[in-house]
């Protein structure tokens, strides 16, 4: 793993009751001190997170930044009461592959975080925003969300209301939106797509089994039914996560089952049973996948539309 | 993305860019499992593919070697190689999946019974693990043995696939040692394997930066206007190694730097730099342009003045005492094999006429580096006094292939201060600084392309023949020099090559860059 020249470990600089201009100049100073005033970073990643969840989220962002050198702006939301105050810790290195600015907001400035983010965005390059735990009502019209081309939510990590949250995310879909639940099922989708190559003939139906609350399973159901044009049932198991997908093909049932969250068994009609590693993926890994492409995910758009339709029909 | 004869798979969509390409059910038969190539590159790359989830469930790896191993011993060999050389962390569950698909067949290449066992093994795999008659044969063995293996595979009916399956064969460089032998080698493979199923691996072509050359050239407007003889003075393509020949005397003696490196790597890089824009990024379109570029390559009339070669002498390199080429074990004192080669080429097109391309490669040079440098002409007029521009060199655009992949642009800038003084500065783009995405090892990409049947990164036979056509006259000229008693010149280990190479550029008032 290569890190840009000069970004060996250095401590973060603390700035109390500060402003965007002071933060920008501290970043510049830190870069110079690290020996490389040039910027190789290709994107700004904004992490908007409540104070209580900040530490865990930042560790995930740090690991994802190893694959995508970025300026990471962490907006840590403190209490909204009282007069506004911004405390920052900024630096380069220290395990980050780009620059890091942890901005802790207190008081009314919490609702004006965009005024702090805008001056700190890297010139020209793309902006991604990630809400590790709290999903805004409508990510694309959220003040910080509006500044970004990529808006990443995580329905599964929401503190409550996860069952209906996916519908809300789907209903408010806008180009650039995405959810980590979608990345969670990429490896399932890849294996299923490859397996279906070997089971010719139309699929007549199928089912997805997962624990009771599993946005990934709901997305799988929507994706499969949208792509295959058939009814896919959603069934419940004790997990972890998605435990089984079954497709009724013309030549028999095609089953991908994983009960322990690690090893799966794939049964293709007429071709017997194979085992394969299908581990549940960690958040940094999912985040890396999200940052790999910053254009619209059209397949997610279709799946969202499907979920929004179903929700609308049910209501 | 449907394969011929089967209806499109509704779960696939070209817009679905998250879905990785997973190889279809298949197996790989590895000849030469005991060699360095297999242990250092091929087997670790297979593990890495498995660990990235890109191999199909049921993937099988069959080792074939003249060793008295049982399956357990072979499994141990694979595991050792994976643990020592794989890029991705070793995970027991991934390993277990891979290990289930390992098989070993013991025998020599003239042993009919061994190939019969191989046939049975593949049939069993098709039955037990659903490899579906899809098998690739990886010949990690010297080219002199290709014919023996190909004949055996044909005799056992292994060279042609059952209905719906495929057979592919993978060969490594060197693809012959001159035009005639390259053709012969090709004939051997062509006779046995259907057209389009022979994959020639040149691992430099898997390198991201080589593909990045195409991106830099054809996705931007910034560089292409300068990419011609109006602005470019000359081009230097360098591949330097800091190591000697090590234990490869048997392979290296009689081959030498030009055949080992210039014929394939450097001429491929030249083609990528010199070629015109392809009509698409498809394999055929790329090959068409590269073939055109290679067909336009001409040698200067006086080969004695336009080439240089050398052999490294004993000395110190990187702080260690090192042996000279003639002291290496297995090299006869009379060997005239060159360990350094530099040649001048022209590209006779409207774009490049008059621009020399200097290609050099050598062992035991100062450091390991591969790069392409476009050196630009000086400005036709400088509105500065000569004293102001004393330290201004020629502008250069350098594509660094390895290590530290990226690009450097050199240009003049004012030195801060009261006096007007212009000095060269560098602007660096480090590929790894902007995209830290762990780039897959070249072999991973290449092996996956073989299993998917995707040819774009593999040199076609036309290209191989054309590059021999370029090199053959140089090799003949050197053989004549040898006969006249003017063999390769010794050069100091740990430096940048023989004096004759410096003289080669000095004749036209140019100099090699220090890479």
Q: What's the pLDDT tens digit per position in B205-233?
A: 555 666 788 899 999 999 999 999 999 99
SS3 at position A46: strand
pLDDT tens column, B290-307: 999 999 999 999 999 999
Q: Which of 92-111 (A) contact B at CB < 8 A? A: 97
Task: Tell me: do B212 and B105 sit in the same domain.
Answer: no
Residue B328: which residues within 8 A CB-CB, separation 6 or more? B244, B245, B249
CB pair distance less than 8 Å for A274 and B58: yes
Give me the CATH number covering residue B127: 3.40.50.720
With CA atoms as reference, the chain B residue closest to A201 would be B7
Give me the CATH number covering residue B360: 3.30.360.10
Tokens representing residue A85 in the block: 């105050």
Helix (H) or strand (E) holding B80: helix B71-85
Tokens representing residue A150 in the block: 């990529």
Provide, for chain A, the percentages of residues in helix, strand and coil under a 3-state DSSP scheme, each rounded to the nearest 5: 35, 25, 35
B435 closest CB neighbour out of A42, A196, A272? A42
CB pair distance less than 8 Å for B437 and A67: yes
B408 occurs within a structural domain: yes
Tokens representing residue B452 in the block: 């998917």
| Per-residue model confidence (pLDDT) at position A4 | 40
pLDDT at B457 over 70: no
With CA atoms as reference, the chain B residue closest to A279 would be B93
Task: Tell me: do B213 and B158 sit in the same domain.
Answer: no
Task: Tell me: do B240 and B131 sit in the same domain.
Answer: no
Query: Using CA of residue B13, residue B15, residue B20, residue B24, what is the dihedral sign?
Result: positive
CB pair distance less than 8 Å for B436 and A279: no
Distance between CA atoms of B454 and B206, rounded to whole angstroms?
A: 13
- In the 8-state DSSP scheme, what is residue B231? T
B315 occurs within a structural domain: yes
B interface with A, Cβ–Cβ below 8 Å = 3, 6-7, 9-13, 15-20, 22, 24-25, 50-51, 53, 56-58, 91, 93-94, 97, 100, 128-130, 132, 427-430, 432-438
CB pair distance less than 8 Å for A38 and B437: no
B250 occurs within a structural domain: yes
| Per-residue model confidence (pLDDT) at position A3 | 38
Whether chain B has a CB inside 8 Å of the CB on A250: the answer is: no
Model pTM score: 0.83
Whether chain B has a CB inside 8 Å of the CB on A194: the answer is: yes
Chain A CB contacts of B91 below 8 Å: 277
Domain count, chain B: 2
Positions of B annotated as catalytic residues are 265
Pairs of residues, one from chain A and one from chain B, whose beta carbons lie less than 8 Å apart:
117
Which pLDDT band, with edges at 50, 70 and 90, does B336 fall under?
Answer: very high
Task: Tell me: do B380 and B479 sit in the same domain.
Answer: yes
Task: Tell me: do B84 and B132 sit in the same domain.
Answer: yes
* Best to test chain B binding among A268, A270, A274 (most B CBs inside 10 Å): A274
CB pair distance less than 8 Å for A277 and B91: yes
B10 occurs within a structural domain: no
A275 closest CB neighbour out of B11, B57, B429? B57
* Best to test chain A binding among B3, B7, B9 (most A CBs inside 10 Å): B9
Tokens representing residue B149 in the block: 């293996």
- In the 8-state DSSP scheme, what is residue B259? I
CB pair distance less than 8 Å for B15 and A41: no
Number of C-beta neighbours around residue B104 at 10 A: 23
B218 occurs within a structural domain: yes
Task: Tell me: do B434 and B289 sit in the same domain.
Answer: yes
Domain that holds residue B61: 27-172
B195 occurs within a structural domain: no
| Tens-digit pLDDT string for chain A (315 aa) | 333 433 334 578 999 999 999 999 998 888 888 776 556 778 899 999 999 999 999 999 999 988 888 899 999 999 988 889 999 999 887 778 788 999 999 999 999 999 999 999 998 889 999 999 999 999 999 999 999 999 999 999 988 877 789 999 999 999 999 999 999 999 999 999 999 988 877 899 999 999 999 999 999 999 999 999 999 999 999 989 999 999 999 889 999 999 998 889 999 888 888 888 888 999 999 999 999 888 899 999 999 999 999 887 654
| Torsion angles phi and psi, residue B38, rounded to 5 | -65, -45
Q: Which of B400, B398, B401, B394 is nearest to B409 (CA)?
A: B398
Residue A78: which residues within 8 A CB-CB, separation 6 or more? A51, A104, A105, A106, A107, A110
pLDDT tens column, B134-181: 999 999 888 888 889 999 999 988 888 888 789 999 988 777 889 998
Task: Tell me: do B412 and B494 sit in the same domain.
Answer: yes
Question: Nearest CA of chain A to the CA of B246: how many Å?
Answer: 28
| Per-residue model confidence (pLDDT) at position B161 | 81
Give the gyration radius of chain A's Cα atoms. 22
Q: Domain boundary residue among B172, B188, B223?
A: B172
| Torsion angles phi and psi, residue A242, rounded to 5 | -80, 135
With CA atoms as reference, the chain A residue closest to B5 would be A200
Chain B CB contacts of A278 below 8 Å: 53
Place of tokens 């929700």: A311
| Per-residue model confidence (pLDDT) at position A145 | 96
| Per-residue model confidence (pLDDT) at position A60 | 95
Task: Tell me: do B130 and B240 sit in the same domain.
Answer: no
Q: Where would I find the beta strands (DSSP E) of B230-292?
A: 232-240
Whether chain B has a CB inside 8 Å of the CB on A66: the answer is: yes
Question: Nearest CA of chain A to the CA of B46: how many Å?
Answer: 15
Task: Tell me: do B328 and B239 sit in the same domain.
Answer: yes
CB pair distance less than 8 Å for B53 and A266: no
According to DSSP, the residues that pair with A263 across neighbouring strands are: A277
CB pair distance less than 8 Å for A69 and B433: yes
Q: Which of 125-184 (A) contact B at CB < 8 A? A: 183
B146 occurs within a structural domain: yes
Task: Tell me: do B405 and B332 sit in the same domain.
Answer: yes
Question: Nearest CA of chain B to the CA of A274: how many Å?
Answer: 6
Give the gyration radius of chain B's Cα atoms. 25
Q: Reading across the β-sheet that carries A263-268, which strands appear in turn?
A: A232-236, A203-210, A242-249, A252-257, A263-268, A272-277
Mean pLDDT of B467-495: 94
B434 closest CB neighbour out of A69, A189, A276? A69
Question: Nearest CA of chain B to the CA of A279: how many Å?
Answer: 9
pLDDT tens column, B480-490: 999 999 999 99
Task: Tell me: do B159 and B254 sit in the same domain.
Answer: no
| Torsion angles phi and psi, residue A75, rounded to 5 | -100, 105
A190 closest CB neighbour out of B53, B91, B430? B53
Mean pLDDT of B107-130: 91
* Best to test chain A binding among B87, B434, B448 (most A CBs inside 10 Å): B434
Task: Tell me: do B167 and B246 sit in the same domain.
Answer: no
Number of C-beta neighbours around residue A281 at 10 A: 17
| Per-residue model confidence (pLDDT) at position A7 | 36
pLDDT at B6 over 60: no
| Per-residue model confidence (pLDDT) at position A42 | 80
Q: Domain boundary residue among B149, B172, B195?
A: B172
* Best to test chain A binding among B10, B407, B435 (most A CBs inside 10 Å): B10
B15 occurs within a structural domain: no
């Amino acid at each position: 793993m290569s890190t840009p020249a000069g970004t060996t470990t250095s401590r973060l600089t603390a700035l109390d009751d500060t402003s965007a201009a002071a933060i920008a100049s501290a970043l510049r100073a830190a870069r110079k001190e690290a020996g490389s005033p040039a910027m190789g970073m290709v994107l700004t990643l904004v992490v908007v997170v409540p104070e209580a969840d900040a530490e865990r989220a930042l560790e995930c962002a740090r690991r994802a930044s190893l694959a995508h050198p970025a300026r990471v702006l962490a907006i840590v939301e403190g209490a909204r009461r009282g007069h506004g105050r911004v405390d920052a810790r900024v630096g380069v290195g220290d395990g980050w592959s780009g620059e890091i600015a942890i901005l802790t907001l207190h008081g009314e400035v919490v609702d004006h975080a965009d005024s702090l983010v805008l001056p700190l965005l890297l010139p020209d390059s793309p902006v991604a925003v990630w809400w590790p735990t709290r999903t805004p009502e409508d990510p694309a019209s959220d003040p910080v969300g509006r500044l970004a081309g990529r808006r990443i939510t995580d329905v599964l990590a929401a503190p409550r209301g996860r069952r209906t949250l996916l519908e809300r995310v789907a209903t408010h879909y806008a180009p650039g939106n995405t959810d980590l639940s979608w990345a969670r099922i990429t490896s399932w989708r890849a294996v299923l797509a490859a397996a279906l190559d070997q089971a010719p003939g139309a699929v007549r139906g199928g089912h997805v089994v997962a624990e009771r609350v599993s946005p990934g399973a709901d997305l799988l159901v929507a994706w499969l039914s949208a792509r295959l044009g058939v009814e896919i049932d959603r069934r419940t198991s004790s997990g972890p996560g998605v435990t089984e997908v079954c497709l009724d093909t013309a030549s028999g049932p095609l089953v991908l089952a994983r009960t322990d969250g690690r090893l799966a068994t794939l049964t293709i009609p007429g071709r017997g049973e194979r085992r394969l590693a299908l581990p549940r993926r960690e958040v940094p890994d999912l985040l890396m996948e999200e940052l790999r492409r910053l254009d619209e995910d059209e397949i997610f758009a279709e799946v969202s539309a499907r979920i929004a339709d179903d929700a609308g029909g049910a209501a | 993305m449907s394969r011929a004869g089967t209806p499109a798979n509704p779960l696939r969509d070209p817009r679905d860019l998250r879905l990785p390409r997973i190889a279809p059910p298949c197996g790989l038969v590895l000849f030469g499992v005991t060699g360095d190539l297999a242990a250092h590159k091929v087997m670790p790359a297979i593990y890495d593919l498995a660990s990235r989830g890109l191999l199909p469930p049921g993937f099988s790896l069959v080792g074939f070697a003249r060793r008295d191993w049982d399956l357990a011993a072979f499994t141990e060999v694979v595991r050792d190689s994976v643990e020592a050389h794989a890029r991705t962390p070793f995970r027991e569950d991934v390993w277990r999946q891979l290990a289930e698909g390992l098989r070993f067949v013991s025998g020599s290449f003239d042993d009919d019974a061994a190939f019969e066992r191989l046939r049975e093994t593949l049939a069993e795999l098709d039955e037990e693990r659903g490899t579906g008659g899809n098998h690739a044969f990886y010949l990690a063995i010297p080219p002199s043995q290709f014919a023996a293996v190909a004949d055996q595979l044909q005799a056992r009916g292994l060279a042609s696939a059952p209905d719906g399956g495929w057979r592919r064969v993978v060969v490594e460089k060197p693809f012959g040692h001159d035009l005639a032998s390259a053709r012969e080698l090709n004939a051997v493979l062509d006779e046995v394997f259907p057209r389009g199923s022979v994959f020639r691996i040149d691992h430099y072509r898997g390198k991201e930066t080589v593909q990045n050359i195409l991106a830099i050239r054809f996705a931007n407007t910034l560089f292409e206007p300068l990419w011609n003889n109006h602005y470019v003075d000359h081009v230097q393509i360098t591949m330097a190694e800091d190591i000697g020949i090590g234990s490869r005397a048997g392979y290296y003696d009689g081959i030498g730097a030009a055949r080992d490196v210039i014929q394939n790597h450097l001429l491929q890089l030249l083609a990528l730099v010199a070629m015109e824009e392809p009509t698409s990024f498809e394999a055929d379109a790329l090959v068409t342009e590269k073939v055109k570029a290679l067909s336009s390559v001409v040698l200067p009339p006086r080969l004695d003045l336009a080439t240089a070669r050398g052999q490294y002498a004993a000395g110190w390199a990187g702080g260690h005492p090192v042996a000279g080429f003639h002291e290496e074990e297995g090299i006869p004192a009379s060997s005239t094999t060159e360990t350094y080669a530099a040649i001048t080429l022209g590209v006779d097109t409207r774009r490049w006429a008059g621009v020399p391309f200097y290609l050099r490669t050598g062992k035991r040079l100062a450091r390991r580096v591969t790069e392409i440098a476009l050196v630009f002409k000086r400005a036709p007029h400088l509105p500065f006094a000569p004293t102001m521009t004393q330290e201004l060199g020629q502008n250069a655009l350098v594509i660094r292939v390895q290590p530290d992949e990226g690009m450097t642009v050199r240009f003049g800038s004012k030195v801060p201060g009261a006096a007007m003084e212009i000095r060269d500065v560098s602007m660096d783009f480090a590929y790894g600084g902007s995209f830290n995405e762990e780039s897959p090892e070249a072999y991973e990409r290449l092996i996956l392309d073989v299993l998917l049947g995707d040819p774009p990164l593999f040199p076609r036979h036309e290209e191989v023949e054309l590059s021999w056509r370029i090199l053959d006259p140089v090799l003949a000229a050197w053989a004549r020099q040898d006969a006249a008693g003017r063999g390769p010149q010794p050069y100091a280990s740990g430096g940048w090559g023989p004096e004759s190479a410096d003289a080669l550029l000095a004749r036209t008032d140019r100099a090699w860059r220090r890479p």
